[in-house]
């Protein structure tokens, strides 16, 4: 969550394809954490158009510190469980009724974030944040495709990498099992951009991970705007680039072979 620059937009658990953001209704947070709304009473409230909402970052910090009464464990052995992971878990359960989702599943010496069983098939899911693509505490990242290959070799089942730019949405869950589903990429408050990635093969990794969800159109620049999600804020980086305070290259992986039109939002190409 250190890669988040501010709360923007509203996320609706039961309308996740249309509502995308960082502010969440108390009832949705309570459902995700399996607690009563009163367990969240100590968290700051943000009022938007008369509605009381919680900031996802505040929930993440309180959950990680064990300050939410009745919430599930925030650790599984040495592994930390993120609030993002719990959001994805609940979105899966709502999008695929009858599915079974396990958390922090042992895989020899590894743990996998989620194991999803649905209609006789098992899929592993690893939710990956910016530190998997650029340095974090002076540690150079290793491609998440390496971990994906290890898990698949050990289990015989597919491991899908769910990167932070893939929206936590019902359509992306359905895309796990149906190649005809058109998924969505979306960012609204991240401080990590493709131009910051240090992976040698960053472009290939970004495209491969996004295509797995059917989230690549003529490009992926739409993720910064509102084109594919009805209620989503435009990312502030678009305005910074438009006003000359940031360079367009911030959104383009280093040494990318694809044209800038693939990576930039339409509003910056006009």
pLDDT per position as a tens digit, 39-84: 999 999 999 989 999 999 999 999 999 999 999 999 888 788 889 9
**Which pair of structure tokens corresponds to residue 71?**
């919430």
pLDDT band at 155 (very low <50, low <70, confident <90, very high): very high
Do 20 and 189 touch, CB atoms closer than 8 A?
Answer: no
**Which pair of structure tokens corresponds to residue 112?**
């996998």
DSSP string, 36-91: -GGGGTTS--EEETTEEEEEHHHHHHHHHTT-STTPPPSEETTEEPPHHHHHHHHH
CA distance 113 to 105: 7
pLDDT above 80: residue 5:
no
Q: What are the pLDDT digits (tens) for 98-127?
A: 999 999 999 988 899 999 999 999 999 999
Q: What are the pLDDT digits (tens) for 174-186?
A: 999 999 999 999 9
CA distance 250 to 218: 19
Break the chain into its structural domains and give their ranges: 10-268
């Amino acid at each position: 969550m250190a890669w988040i620059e501010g709360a923007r937009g509203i996320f609706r658990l039961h309308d996740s394809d249309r509502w995308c953001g960082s502010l969440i209704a108390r009832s949705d947070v309570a459902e995700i954490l399996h607690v009563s709304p009163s367990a969240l009473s100590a968290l700051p409230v943000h009022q938007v158009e008369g509605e009381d909402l919680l900031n996802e970052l505040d929930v993440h910090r309180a959950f990680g510190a064990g300050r939410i009464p009745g919430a599930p464990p925030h650790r599984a052995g040495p592994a930390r469980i993120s609030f993002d992971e719990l959001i994805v878990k609940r979105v899966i359960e709502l999008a695929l009724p009858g599915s079974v989702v396990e958390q922090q599943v042992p895989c020899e010496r590894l743990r996998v974030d989620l194991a999803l069983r649905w209609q006789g098939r098992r899929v592993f899911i690893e939710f990956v944040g910016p530190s998997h693509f650029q340095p974090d505490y002076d540690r150079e990242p290793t491609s998440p495709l390496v971990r994906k290959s290890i898990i698949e070799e050990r289990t015989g089942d597919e491991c899908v990498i769910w990167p932070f730019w893939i929206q936590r949405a019902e359509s992306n869950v359905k895309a796990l099992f149906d190649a005809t589903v058109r998924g969505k990429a979306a960012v609204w408050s991240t401080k990590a951009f493709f131009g910051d990635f240090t992976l040698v093969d960053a472009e290939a990794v970004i495209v491969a991970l996004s295509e797995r969800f059917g989230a690549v159109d003529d490009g992926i620049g739409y993720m910064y705007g509102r084109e594919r999600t009805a209620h989503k804020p435009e990312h502030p980086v678009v305005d910074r680039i438009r006003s000359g305070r940031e360079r367009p290259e911030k959104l383009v992986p280093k040494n990318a072979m694809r044209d800038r039109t693939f990576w930039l939002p339409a509003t910056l190409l006009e």
